[in-house]
Structure 1
């Protein structure tokens, strides 16, 4: 099931909405609708107007989040980084980038661009309200003034929050770029992640005695710092090697006419959960255990591999770096990649192969 849906494109970047965004949208609207001024519209008028303004404010808030992400993307594109898409989801927006620039000054500018956009929007809207109040006395009592004020303060908070020097916030990347001017990229990431974990620990302590939401944020920050540290270490370590160095050359394939029942036995015998589907010398697709597990037992004799296989196959040449393979797997959320040279399948590389190679390299 597709969990994200494209709603348009800006600067050639696909803009998607994650299914979680559809859940959080009414929740945010409800928060605005049940809080009085200056935090919401509970006492602004009729119920229809209250909920209408609350929904509109929520949508505009996520437009601001989108602009925040576009700030990152604009600078990144200027440095030649490919932006796969921007997805609006439960906790805000995420720009899916081909690669974070390793040049400290480039990463600094790219990371700072998002919070800067949020702060410009926030202080710009705040200034607009102050200016309007100066020339139109009755303006301060309007719903428009209230909406602009809410959006202004949330954007300012968003900008400041993202400057906290902890992954996965932008401040963590800013801190890493500063460390990277004096040490290796991996070491800079490790130090920046350590600072982030310290912030998470302090937030958790404060959360225990004051606000349980801080505990959730602390967990989010701690996990983000740990994942960034681990991911960077793995990527840099694998950059020294080619796909050909770590792939499995003994490729076991299946034919598209094989039934799902036969394939399930085949998987059990060969101890692999994914296989390329090849007819003659032509690659037709790839089939995994995930593709067949939803086929009902009594249907497995009639359903064949070609009915359930994935036809849009992600491939890499054997000359690609192992780090690129790791990145492609992460971006596409897949566990294996077929290695294709000159139209022929020459190997298969799984996430397990990469992790096993990494363990051997670190011994």
Structure 2
């Protein structure tokens, strides 16, 4: 039985995709454009405006399931049953993730992508709602999808007369799984709903627990409690996995990392809240004049530490160029290509803007690598993820004195 991996907002995991789409040398069109590798994941489609990816390790699950069913049934029919069951089960997992994603969309929160992993699905939301009521609704809608699927299958089985197990039913699948395919899918969806409601991060139940605790305490403390329960659960799964199913060890690792990431993210958000960006912004930087060739961007990249640059025209900010755009421009136009062809609209903020809000923009904004800080229309600083990280390290060192 597979678990559903849950929902995340992007953090360190998102960096795996950061520059993957510039590694290829040729443009892709048609079906090749729909099936693209991004890091370790293959894009297999886009539905409801959300990209669906399959991790490179995902097919190994089908190899393992096929081997298990062959060893336990010894028949091609048993193997076909197992593979078909897992395929349909993961369709239910995808629908579970879309339950989260489409509900979050109602609250103005987008979903970057959904990834299929061997242990389940992962919907990477731009962020989780800060309102505890909204977070509860978003978290519950995934298991609710599985309950609806199970209820529909129950009705179908009841109407067709296949809702009960008779003594004459032949067992063609291992682990006491009923031979009736729809019954198997029904039970699996009930399991997914119940398992994901375990009150521990990063399960959906952990998010419900955190949101409920937020009614009585600060969000950071609520997150730490839910994450602590999640890590205790991970230890339990790990120990069970050592004496039984090795899949439990993978699940334990996922839960441990996910819980730690949630707790760390909440702590960082608390440290940056109500801190003005003027404390952390880069004040010594290079700019590109509009109309400059790409060779100038290459020179600045090699000469300094910044990889993304603001573009000015007559002293006024007109856009930015990112490293990803520079690499694409070099591939398409060469060193003599104009900056204008790769320039994008700049994201701006004031010097007194909240650092926590800007961090959220950098993490969740589509292709936002750099925020330009303007004071009375004049560019006075830049902020990116790297220098926010430096600011956090400096503050940690000062607290450790």
Greater share of residues in helix = 1
Cα pair distance change 1:207/1:230, threshold 3 Å: same
Q: Distance in 1 between matches of 2:187 and 2:341?
A: 49
3-state secondary structure, aligned to 2:288: coil
Partner residue of 1:71? 99
Question: TM-score, normalized by length of structure 1?
Answer: 0.76
- Which blocks of at least 5 consecutive residues in structure 1 are unaligned? none
Paired residues of 2:286 and 2:300 also in contact (CA < 8 A): no
1:175-212 deviation per Cα after TM superposition (whole angstroms, max 9, x unaligned): 21232232211011011111111111111111112222
- Which blocks of at least 5 consecutive residues in structure 2 are unaligned? 1-20, 22-35, 173-178
Cα pair distance change 1:270/1:77, threshold 3 Å: closer
Paired residues of 2:162 and 2:180 also in contact (CA < 8 A): no
Paired residues of 1:335 and 1:351 also in contact (CA < 8 A): yes
Q: Distance in 2 between matches of 1:338 and 1:290?
A: 17
Partner residue of 1:83? 110
Paired residues of 1:314 and 1:338 also in contact (CA < 8 A): yes
3-state secondary structure, aligned to 2:52: strand
Cα pair distance change 1:16/1:289, threshold 3 Å: closer
* Equivalent of 2:221 in 174, 182, 187: 187
Question: What does residue range 255-274 of structure 1 map to in structure 2 within 5 Å?
Answer: 255=289, 263-274=297-308
Q: C-alpha displacement at 1:285, in angstroms?
A: 3.5
Paired residues of 2:112 and 2:126 also in contact (CA < 8 A): no
Q: Distance in 2 between matches of 1:258 and 1:28?
A: 52
Question: What does residue range 129-168 of structure 1 map to in structure 2 within 5 Å?
Answer: 129-133=157-161, 146-168=180-202
* Equivalent of 1:327 in 353, 356, 360: 360
* Equivalent of 1:315 in 336, 339, 347: 347
* Equivalent of 1:99 in 122, 127, 141: 127
**Alignment of 1:114 onto 2:153:** no
Q: C-alpha displacement at 1:324, in angstroms?
A: 2.3
Question: TM-score, normalized by length of structure 2?
Answer: 0.70
Cα pair distance change 1:135/1:283, threshold 3 Å: closer
Partner residue of 1:254? 288
3-state secondary structure, aligned to 1:43: helix
Cα pair distance change 1:74/1:209, threshold 3 Å: same
Q: Distance in 2 between matches of 1:278 and 1:130?
A: 69
Q: Distance in 1 between matches of 2:153 and 2:233?
A: 30
Cα pair distance change 1:39/1:104, threshold 3 Å: farther
Partner residue of 2:24? none
Cα pair distance change 1:269/1:156, threshold 3 Å: same
* Equivalent of 2:335 in 297, 300, 303: 303
* Equivalent of 2:51 in 16, 34, 55: 16
**Alignment of 1:215 onto 2:249:** yes
3-state secondary structure, aligned to 1:35: helix
Cα pair distance change 1:29/1:310, threshold 3 Å: farther
Q: C-alpha displacement at 1:351, in angstroms?
A: 1.2
1:304-356 deviation per Cα after TM superposition (whole angstroms, max 9, x unaligned): 46479853456132264322221222224765333467876443101122123
Q: C-alpha displacement at 1:264, in angstroms?
A: 4.4
1:12-36 deviation per Cα after TM superposition (whole angstroms, max 9, x unaligned): xx13221428x73695498369737
Q: Distance in 2 between matches of 1:130 and 1:232?
A: 47
Q: Distance in 2 between matches of 1:323 and 1:214?
A: 36
**Number of matched residues?**
348
RCO higher in 1 or 2 (8 Å CA, sep ≥ 6)? Answer: 2
Q: C-alpha displacement at 1:156, in angstroms?
A: 1.8
Q: C-alpha displacement at 1:261, in angstroms?
A: 5.8
